[in-house]
Amino acid sequence: MKNDIVIAGVGGQGILSIAVVIGTAAVNNKLNIKQAEVHGMSQRGGAVYSHVRVSDKPIASDLIPLGKADLVLSVEPLEALRYVPYLSPEGRLVTNIHCFANMDNYPEHQAILEQLKSLKNSILIDAEALASKKASNMVMLGAAAPFMKIEMKELIKAISSIFEAKGEEVVAMNVNALQAGYNAAKEQA
C-alpha cells in the first residue's frame, strides 16, 4: 500500500491541519509516513503546500516527484492548477471551487474552474456550501477520502483525538464536515 498526496492552498485554509489528520490516522494504523511542508507567506495568504507519503513499507524520501502523486488535494482552485504536474496519469485531483483572490492579477474564476473540469479524474467541491469556512478544510479531506488508502473511520478517530481539547462541538463540526465532503465526492465519482 502506498499513497502519495500533495495538499495545497493558501495560508489560513487549514492545509497543515489536513496533513496532521492524515498523519495521525496513518501512525494510528502503524503505517509509515513522511511529510514535507512549505509555509511560504502563510500569514499573508501565500501558498502553503504539503507532501504526505503514506505506505506499509519504508519510505525513502518525503518529497513526491513530478508525475507521481496519487492525489492532489487543494483547498483553493488556482493552487490546484499549480500542482497538477505532480499528478500521476491515474491520479485524482480534488479541489474546492472557491477562490482566495490573494493577488491583483488573480485569473478569472470561471476560467480556472473550466480548466479544472477539463482534467481527467477531477472532483470539484463547493466546500463552503457544505460547512462553515472554519471546517471547509475537513470537507475537502472528506472529499479526498474515497481516493485515499485510509478508511473514513480512521480519519474520524484522528480528528477526534486532535480536536478533543477544543470540545465535543468542535469535534462534531469537523467530523460532520468530513462526512459531507465524503458524500459529495462519492456523488461525483
- 184 with 125: CB under 8 angstroms? yes
**Which pLDDT band, with edges at 50, 70 and 90, does 137 fall under?**
very high
Instruction: Give 54's strand partners.
Output: 3, 33
Confidence grade of residue 188 (pLDDT, cut at 50, 70, 90): confident
pLDDT in tens, 45-68: 677 899 999 999 999 999 999 999
In which band, very low, low, confident or very high, does the pLDDT at 104 lie, cut at 50, 70 and 90?
confident
**Start-to-end Cα distance in the chain:** 21
Question: Three cell numbers at 42?
Answer: 502563510
Q: Set out the domains of the chain in order of their start, with CATH numbers.
A: 2-188 (3.40.920.10)
Cell of 31: 503505517
pLDDT of residue 44: 58
What's the mean pLDDT in 92-115?
88
Whole-prediction pTM value? 0.93
Taking only the tens place, the pLDDT of each residue in 2-14 is 999 999 988 778 8
Cβ contacts of 119 within 8 Å, gap of 6 or more = 84, 93
